[in-house]
Amino acid sequence: MTALPATNDAGRPSVPAGRVVRLLVLLAILGGIAWLAVKNMGAEQATEQLFNALTRGAIYALIALGYTMVYGIIELINFAHGDMFMVGAFVSLTFLGQILGLEGAVTNIPLLIALLAATFLVTMAILALVGVTIERYAYKPLRNAPRLAPLITAIGVSFILQNLVQLVYGPYQTNSPKIFPDTWVIQVGSATVPVLSLFIIGVAVVLMIGLQLFIGRTRLGRAMRSTAADRDAAALMGVNINRTIAITFLIGSALAGAAGVVNGLQYGVARFDDGFQAGLKAFTAAVLGGIGNTVGAALGGFIIGFIEVGATAMGYTRWGPAIVFGVLVIVLVFRPAGLLGQQLGERA
Amino acid sequence: MKYARVGAVVAAAAIVVAACGGATGGAKPLKIGISLPLSGSSLASAGPADKGARLAIKDFTLPGYTITADVKDHAVNGVHDPQQGAKDMTAFAADPAIVGVVGPFNSSVAKVQIPISNEAGLLQCSPANTNPDLTKGDAGKQLRAKQPDKINYVRVATTDDIQGPAVAQYGFNKLGLKKVAIIDDTETYGKGIADAFAAEWTKLGGQVVGREGAPKGTTDYTAILTKFKDAAPDAVFYGGVTATGGGLVRKQMPQVGLDKIAYLGGDGIQDGPGSVEGSFINIAGAAAANSFSSVAAIAEYPGKADFDAKYKAAYNEEAGAYSASGYACAQILLQAIKTAASKGDVTRESVRAAGVDTNTTFETVLGPVKFDAVGDTNQKIISLYKTDLTAASGKGDWVFDSQVDYK
Amino acid sequence: MSVVTDLSPKAAGGGRMTGLRLTASRHRSWSIVLGIAVVGAILPVLAYLPPFSLAQPANAWIDGYTNAGVFVLLALGLNLVVGVAGLLDLGYAAFFAIGAYTYAYVASPFGNSVLGINLVESLGTEVGGLVFWPMLLVGALVAATFGILLGAPTLRLRGDYLAIVTLGFGEIVPIVFLNSDQLTNGTNGIGGLLRPSLPIIGSFSAINPWPYYITMLVLVSFVMIMCYRLVESRLGRAWEAIREDELAAAANGINTVTVKLLAFALGASTAGIAGVFNASKLVTVSPDQFTFIVSFTVLSMVVLGGMGNFWGVAVGAFVIYTINNVLLKTLNQFFDQTGFPILKDIDFIQLQFLLYGLALVAMMLLRPEGLFPNSRRKRELHTAITADEQDSLTTAEGTTEEGQR
């Protein structure tokens, strides 16, 4: 949820000066890194790596949104969320590959647009359904149980999803039709940027803006915000808590599904264990940006993308995962609220 | 009455004695263990070796003995698991009927199995292990530490310290490539072969313009490839197997604009035609063109056509890269058993001694094989393959290019 | 206020213990030793009887029991952290790795060269193997130290965050071992570890399972005794207090920092012991032995066995391990050989994690206290109690406890 502004002791909303300052510092750091990058790699490389980072970050951002929404509303880290992303990748590859029988790039633009729209719709709808079902049968009964129980259930659901997919598709990588042609590129200066990258970044941005509008301007969005802020008060105000939570899962899972489609378009493969690492990194992104804060989750996703690509650019690819998880630990220990979040209380 | 009853008992006893006597005069059961990863993503590469070995065992007869195969799959969750391999080897060691083991497929499993089989004095033949540390040098000695004078491990595949350089020589000399960028999967096999390749490449006069380690689980190689693009390599070498990224790297090269350059790898990416799920050609698809790999074993040998036909008749599928190696390993074990039987009793020790004897030449489907003092084969042949996307009815397959003898 | 007459020990969670549990709690250490001895004697006997003897040779069974024992040790330790103290640690395999590598440094040529000592060369295998026994303690201490180091950052974190940080550490530690080639030989791992040895028996063997088996029985007894002692001490009560309500515990004067760090340290020390033992048995350590799958497997064992109950966890770990490694494999082989139509194509081993997942979810929904629960835990987790139950609680125990106040 978009964080409510902090209030000072007099109850008046205080000017979020701290947040603005932090954002400026962040931008300054990013600017400095960009300058260093161009100096070391040359503008062409730097631009291309920039788009690589944005593309990767877009995928993490989409997954992170789901994590942050669910955590904001029921304070549960949904371990199975990363696997929802994986399921989304498999749904889209089944739809495109097995149902529609496609194999390669589709160059007919109207057809391509229609196919993409259909894939997104179908995948997001199925994932939404799966997400709501899981919430209803595995998490809802444990809403009032001690914290450990739903966490462990989530781990169990993660195992189940992974292994069901493994049973059906096998443990090897499965091909996902790359219907978006790789050959479409545009030139940004001397750099070559694939149109696919721009498409993915665009999809992520559009979905995020859509989400912000939904949360900020619609009734359901208001219901979600109020449930996140104070569940009992919201219930007293007539909000249907069960439905609100279900809708949160619906949206979060659909976004993970979108991430899965986009992943399939970009990489062309999916495997049953893709969800674990991607999920953990996306969770890092959500935490980095401020858990419960959707803008923060998106921001965090892009930052993680930059960290990974940056590690490669400096020659540390094999340390990449360790660096990301290190960021996770450092943020949680020193600043659990993340970049854009409120200062959370420390006890359960 | 009494005599009749006694007579009946005596008669019954006589029959029982005769039956027992008949039983002990019958065949002695022996077993050959097969320890390979046979599920999930390992099945594509190791399955053919298993089938080859079983075919040899089935075809073999030795009067006075019945020999059967005991297959144990040490893949966990689709991937070879050394701990499971250790358990399986312990189980084999505990079973007195087992007199030899074919396997394993992966060097990391061999590292835990050899100490066990060495202590048990159990002859072990691997169709595919290529890590030099399993036999050579101090590392090899360490594995045999319990009975250093009685080696028990032999292999029909040659080692990565020959395979890596072979690919380097092929790329540099035959394909005329000069600058290479290397990615390895940070695992034992991948890193080992990449290191051997890089060393040879530099020795030949080529340039290694980039080197990155990408652990398994990496899905996005675009950043690494973009970085390599800057250095304008002629080829990318992948140290590792398809499952840890060999196919993905090749698949992503067109996205970064590197599709025109060659792709080199070891036997880790040589895993069958495009119709096999999860194989290199299957994953890389159209991008699999202009790719080259090797197998640490002979490919063109006299009798290959016959073997392929026999294999196809038995299993209704084409022989895989390691089918003949599996068959050969089993042949070696069987020949050792035969030698032991001719000298007296078939025990683990007599089989082992016969199997590692450096003076014996084993006649196998791969040709004559002799083992050196540490168990490595004298057949140091590396076969080189290239992809042909029109083969295997359009699905694409690896086709044999040449083989080099490094003796 | 009634005079206190009933001084009999109370079961965890109130209520009077009777019979076996009473005797067991009075003579805790002896009952554990006896229990383990009985189990330890029965299991090998079973290995010689059909149907067990038909599945694999007896020695293989005993070797399997010993391997199961490693997981029992891990589960006992994790139970301290998760079950008793309520700290969800998802990266437990890191401590297992630390114990194993600690042993590798002292007991292998490569490790010796990194440390700059010359133990293996100078002592040889027979004498060098004696180093295993003190290394059990050293491994435990090193792991405990890392338990404190990795636990310290999590002190102020809530349950979920704590879980994620431990998961992060659990991922980072193997990656560090993997990438630090100079120090750890990277992906190749460290081989040539010394097997344990004893004065008369000599060096343990790879094919004779008995020395390892008996050592494992001793280790399990020892660890179990320690666990029970800890839980029945003030520290154990402090752990249960912070598990149930940390704020209230702190308000009651419990130093939550020390208590939590001790939970991590002691839990990690068990994993350290298991790591040393496992390394000495496999004679090689490599980073891929310590993946998150190990952490999750041990967690499943703790959850399914009954968080907080040590015997339950031990039995649960043993049963799950055996099901995994023997039953599922045997099912595979059986269906393969007999050629059942659909069943023979199913890889039961692949199914194992699906079964874990289903079991975890089912457990949490139906019986979160595990298969062999601790009665207080059971009450805590089934929080909705009816009016009748409420009444019976106050009449049976309430008066006595109030009287004691």
pLDDT in tens, A294-342: 889 999 999 999 999 988 888 888 898 899 999 888 888 888 888 877 6
Specify if C152 maps to a domain. yes
* Same domain, residue pair B146 and B166: no
pLDDT, position A90: 96
CB pair distance less than 8 Å for A172 and B213: no
- Strand residue runs (E) in B231-272: 235-239, 262-265
Give me the CATH number covering residue C292. 1.10.3470
pLDDT values of chain B reduced to their tens digit, one per residue, 407 residues: 455 555 555 554 444 444 443 344 467 889 999 999 987 667 777 888 999 999 999 989 888 889 999 988 888 766 788 888 998 999 899 888 999 999 899 888 998 999 999 999 999 999 999 989 899 988 888 888 888 889 999 999 999 999 999 999 999 999 999 999 999 998 888 998 999 999 999 999 999 999 999 988 888 999 999 999 988 999 999 999 888 889 999 999 988 888 889 999 998 898 888 888 888 998 998 899 999 999 988 888 888 899 999 999 999 888 888 899 999 999 999 999 999 999 988 899 999 999 999 999 999 999 899 999 999 998 889 999 999 998 878 888 899 999 998 87
Specify if B1 maps to a domain. no
Please count the other Cβ atoms lying within 10 Å of the Cβ belonging to residue A32.
10
Whether chain C has a CB inside 8 Å of the CB on A194: the answer is: no
Q: Could you tell me whether strands B235-239 and B179-184 are parallel, antiparallel, or unpaired per DSSP bridges?
A: parallel
Please count the other Cβ atoms lying within 10 Å of the Cβ belonging to residue C398.
13
* Same domain, residue pair B21 and B124: yes
pLDDT, position A39: 80
CB pair distance less than 8 Å for C161 and A336: yes
pLDDT, position A342: 60
Q: Could you tell me whether strands B291-295 and B262-265 are parallel, antiparallel, or unpaired per DSSP bridges?
A: parallel
Q: What b/e sequence results for B113-140 when a residue is b if at least 16 CB atoms lie within 10 Å of its CB, and e otherwise?
A: bbbbbbbbbbbbbbbbbbbbbbbbeebb
Q: Amino acid identity, residue C276?
A: V
**In chain B, whose CA is at the least distance from the CA of C354?**
B77
Alpha helices in A135-194 (DSSP H): 148-169
CB pair distance less than 8 Å for C361 and A329: no
- State how far the Cα of B12 lies from the Cα of B7, in Å rounded to an integer: 8
Contact partners for chain A, using 3 or more CB pairs closer than 8 A, are B, C
The encoded tokens of residue C174 equal: 């193997």
User: Sorting pLDDT into bands at 50, 70 and 90, what band is A228?
Assistant: confident
CB C103, CB C277: distance < 8 Å: no
From chain A, the residues in CB contact with C295 under 8 A are none
CB B87, CB B112: distance < 8 Å: no
Place of tokens 């080259």: B292
Helix (H) or strand (E) holding B47, with range, is helix B43-59
- State how far the Cα of A34 lies from the Cα of A333, in Å rounded to an integer: 28
* Same domain, residue pair B255 and B216: yes
CB C226, CB C67: distance < 8 Å: no
- State how far the Cα of A308 lies from the Cα of A91, in Å rounded to an integer: 27
Q: In what order do the strands lie in the sheet with B123-126?
A: B65-73, B28-36, B98-102, B123-126, B153-155
Specify if B234 maps to a domain. yes
- State how far the Cα of B287 lies from the Cα of B246, in Å rounded to an integer: 12
- State how far the Cα of C131 lies from the Cα of C382, in Å rounded to an integer: 48
Show the CA angle centred on residue A279, arms to residues C81 and C353, nearest 5°: 60
The three-class DSSP label of residue A16 is coil
Please count the other Cβ atoms lying within 10 Å of the Cβ belonging to residue A199.
18
Q: How distant is the Cα of B248 from the closest Cα of chain A, in angstroms?
A: 8
CB C93, CB C170: distance < 8 Å: yes
* Same domain, residue pair B316 and B350: yes
Q: Over chain C (405 residues), what is each successive 10-residue block's mean pLDDT?
A: 50 56 76 87 85 78 91 95 90 95 92 86 83 94 95 82 88 92 86 88 86 94 92 91 87 91 95 96 89 88 83 88 77 70 66 82 80 66 49 44 37
Is cis: bond before B104, omega within 30 of 0?
Answer: yes
Q: Could you tell me whether strands B98-102 and B79-80 are parallel, antiparallel, or unpaired per DSSP bridges?
A: unpaired
Specify if B310 maps to a domain. yes
pLDDT, position A203: 94
Helix (H) or strand (E) holding C245, with range, is none
* Same domain, residue pair B95 and B179: no
pLDDT, position C383: 58
The encoded tokens of residue C64 equal: 């399997």
A149 has pLDDT over 70: yes
Looking at the DSSP bridge assignments, the partners of residue B291 are B263
Specify if C28 maps to a domain. no
Give me the CATH number covering residue B241. 3.40.50.2300
Q: How far apart are the first and last CA of chain C?
A: 10
Q: Which of B39, B254, B277 sits opposite A182 (nearest CB)?
A: B254
CB pair distance less than 8 Å for B218 and A317: yes
From chain A, the residues in CB contact with B227 under 8 A are 41, 45, 49, 312-313
Q: Among B251, B312, B310, B239, which residue's Cα sits nearest to residue B283? A: B251
Q: Among C74, C26, C48, C400, which residue's Cα sits nearest to residue C223? A: C74
The three-class DSSP label of residue C28 is helix
CB pair distance less than 8 Å for B90 and C349: no
- State how far the Cα of A312 lies from the Cα of B226, in Å rounded to an integer: 10
The encoded tokens of residue A229 equal: 């802020």
Q: Amino acid identity, residue C40?
A: G
From chain B, the residues in CB contact with A273 under 8 A are 217
Specify if C6 maps to a domain. no
CB pair distance less than 8 Å for A317 and B283: no
- State how far the Cα of A86 lies from the Cα of A157, in Å rounded to an integer: 13
Looking at chain C from residue 141 to 160, which residues have their Cβ under 8 Å from any Cβ of chain A? 153-154, 156-160
Specify if C97 maps to a domain. yes
CB C78, CB C267: distance < 8 Å: yes
- State how far the Cα of B266 lies from the Cα of B197, in Å rounded to an integer: 9
- State how far the Cα of C232 lies from the Cα of A334, in Å rounded to an integer: 35
DSSP string, A43-111: HHHHHHHHHHHHHHHHHHHHHHHHHHHHHHHH----TTHHHHHHHHHHHHHIIIIIIS---S----HHH
Q: Among B351, B313, B317, which residue's Cα sits nearest to residue B332? A: B351
- State how far the Cα of A132 lies from the Cα of A152, in Å rounded to an integer: 18
* Same domain, residue pair B360 and B311: yes
* Same domain, residue pair B210 and B187: yes
The pLDDT tens digits of the residues spanning A34-87 come to 787 778 878 888 889 989 999 999 999 999 999 899 988 888 889 899 999 999
- Counted domains in chain C: 1
The encoded tokens of residue A139 equal: 């998490």
- State how far the Cα of B115 lies from the Cα of C144, in Å rounded to an integer: 31
CB pair distance less than 8 Å for B143 and C205: no
Q: How distant is the Cα of B73 from the closest Cα of chain C, in angstroms?
A: 9
- State how far the Cα of C390 lies from the Cα of C369, in Å rounded to an integer: 20
* Same domain, residue pair B211 and B246: yes
pLDDT, position C396: 44
From chain B, the residues in CB contact with A52 under 8 A are 220, 222-223, 226
* Same domain, residue pair B19 and B39: yes
Looking at chain A from residue 3 to 62, which residues have their Cβ under 8 Å from any Cβ of chain B? 41-42, 44-45, 48-49, 52-53, 55-56
* Same domain, residue pair B107 and B192: no
Q: How distant is the Cα of A318 from the closest Cα of chain B, in angstroms?
A: 5
* Same domain, residue pair B12 and B87: yes
- State how far the Cα of A263 lies from the Cα of A255, in Å rounded to an integer: 12
pLDDT, position B138: 84
The pLDDT tens digits of the residues spanning B211-248 come to 999 988 888 999 999 999 988 999 999 999 888 889 99
Mean pLDDT of A190-205: 92
Q: Spell out the long-range contacts of C256-262 with Cβ–Cβ below 8 A and sequence spacing 24 or more.
A: C256/C155, C257/C155, C259/C85, C259/C235, C260/C85, C260/C87, C260/C151, C260/C154, C260/C155, C261/C147, C261/C148, C261/C151, C261/C152, C261/C155, C262/C235
From chain B, the residues in CB contact with A277 under 8 A are 217
Q: Among B270, C163, B160, B179, which residue's Cα sits nearest to residue A348? A: C163
Q: Amino acid identity, residue B368?
A: P
From chain C, the residues in CB contact with B116 under 8 A are 206-207
- Counted domains in chain B: 2
**Report field, pTM of the whole predicted structure over 0.90:** no
Domains in chain A, please, with CATH? Answer: 61-334 (1.10.3470)
CB pair distance less than 8 Å for C153 and A333: yes
CB pair distance less than 8 Å for B186 and C179: yes
CB pair distance less than 8 Å for B186 and C64: no
Q: What b/e sequence results for C296-330 when a residue is b if at least 16 CB atoms lie within 10 Å of its CB, and e otherwise?
A: bbbbbbbbbbbbbbbbbbbbbbbbbbbebbbebbe
User: Sorting pLDDT into bands at 50, 70 and 90, what band is A95?
Assistant: very high
From chain C, the residues in CB contact with B213 under 8 A are 179
CB C164, CB C254: distance < 8 Å: no
Whether chain A has a CB inside 8 Å of the CB on B214: the answer is: yes
Specify if C198 maps to a domain. yes
CB pair distance less than 8 Å for A173 and B218: no
Q: Amino acid identity, residue B206?
A: G
The three-class DSSP label of residue B242 is helix
pLDDT, position B22: 38
- Give me the domain span that covers residue B240: 160-295+382-405
From chain C, the residues in CB contact with A142 under 8 A are 364-365
pLDDT, position A314: 85
- Give me the domain span that covers residue C146: 34-350
Q: Among A29, A85, A78, A80, which residue's Cα sits nearest to residue A62? A: A85
* Same domain, residue pair B121 and B50: yes
